[in-house]
Amino acid sequence: MFPSAVIRKLANSEEMLAETQNFVGLGAHVKGPVDIDALSTAYDALLEARPVLTARLERGADGRHQLVADDLLPAGIEVVELDDPAAEDPPLYFDQYTSLVHLRVTIRDGQAQPTLYVHHSLADGHHMYTLIEELLSYYTDLVSGGGIRRLNAEAAPESIETVLAERGIHKQRRSGIERFMPAVFAYDLPPSRRATTGVKAPSPVRVPIVSCQLSERHTDSIVALCRAQGIGLTAMLSAVLVKAEWQLRGASTIPVPLIYTVDLRYFLSPPVSATGCTNPVGLATYLAEIDRKTDVVELARDIAQTFKADLADGVIQQSRLHFSPQYVGNAPGLPDVVLLSDNGLVPPVRTPPGLEVVSTHGELYFDVNDGIEIYFTQIYAGRLNVEYHSYGANPERSVETIHSLLCALAEQHATSGVS
């Protein structure tokens, strides 16, 4: 046994992620040669600079989880070589009581693809992008011959509860979920796509994923439309998603509930650094009542106005003090909720000459194997990407519908002179 020391107990917002053993992965699709030894050294540097990544979880006497540090370091970089370009990646095994981080490099057709995995109680998407950026920056220094600069160990990130309390933000009467009350037990609903058996898997398993990507031209047109209309990209993508879901659900009179994450780093004062908090996100809600006359742009405008009102009232900032994002299952009596996490425009990462990150992808792991359904969106290298993580029966149809709506929107407003 190795001696261990408690770093801190998990807050409520983090405890849920420990109960489902939720790991998130961020993969970098690169073009060009990768020096595995240098990448391994860069990974060691990342762990040295971010020692909390070498921690693990442990249940305390009260049954709650806590972060602990010990002398047992995580395993080094894992390299998987696949001769068959169509072969599936071998499964990953995660155990939060042993390690909270893992780096796998898959070599397919001679091209390496690194994917970093971190327990979700430690990091959200914005946080993960920063870790990848740091990893590749260290790698760039190494292969460029300059060596890695002296590293200063960063403190463990705080919980959102601590960050909000330090800024005088406290729990209010409203959570935002009240917006869904008119739709609860008000309709004769089909069986939920997000029904869950509640059966735990032996270890975290990967949620199935399908995705689509817009061309640079269509992406530019969507972004230009948002700018011309003064509507944020998240609101526009939210409108497209709920319109697509309405079509997929038979174009009925049943409204479509929407929950989307809000990166509070851009709205808190003093600001929160990229890695200073584990999951500094708020949750915005909207109940979309759609018919055949509904215009996507006007729907996006109303979503944006609702967001601004809730932000002005402080509802979004304190929403996580009421509840955490429940990826698993759906509230009883409520139409299936559309969950969206939009990462927006992701800046390029630093790489050495001859190596380029051309795209990225996300992965989700839970110790359940049903009831999960969430969309992730981002723009990287000039192209909008939509990922759909779902156990649904026909996720390809959902992505095809979304892609069709986005392309039609882009074409419509490109020809009208908006872009």
Catalytic residues: 120
* Kind plus residue range of the DSSP H or E element containing 243: helix 233-248
Q: Are the C-beta atoms of residues 262 and 318 closer than 8 Å to each other?
A: no
- Could you write out the DSSP letters of every residue in 93-158? ---TTT-SEEEEEEEETTEEEEEEEEETTT--HHHHHHHHHHHHHHHHHHHTTS-PPPP-PPPPPB
Instruction: Report the alpha-carbon distance of residue 320 to residue 347 in Å, rounded.
Output: 27
Residue carrying the six token digits 């300059």: 146
Phi/psi-derived region of residue 57, left when phi > 0, alpha when psi is between -120 and 50, beta in every other case: beta
Instruction: Report the alpha-carbon distance of residue 137 to residue 355 in Å, rounded.
Output: 12
- Amino acid at residue number 60: G
Instruction: Report the alpha-carbon distance of residue 399 to residue 388 in Å, rounded.
Output: 7
Burial class (CB in 10 A: 0-12, 13-18, 19+), 182: exposed
**Cα first-last separation, the chain:** 63
Q: Are the C-beta atoms of residues 245 and 296 closer than 8 Å to each other?
A: no
Pairing of the two strands 111-119 and 23-31 = antiparallel
- Could you write out the DSSP letters of every residue in 195-234? ----PEEEEEEEPPEEEEE--HHHHHHHHHHHHHHT--HH
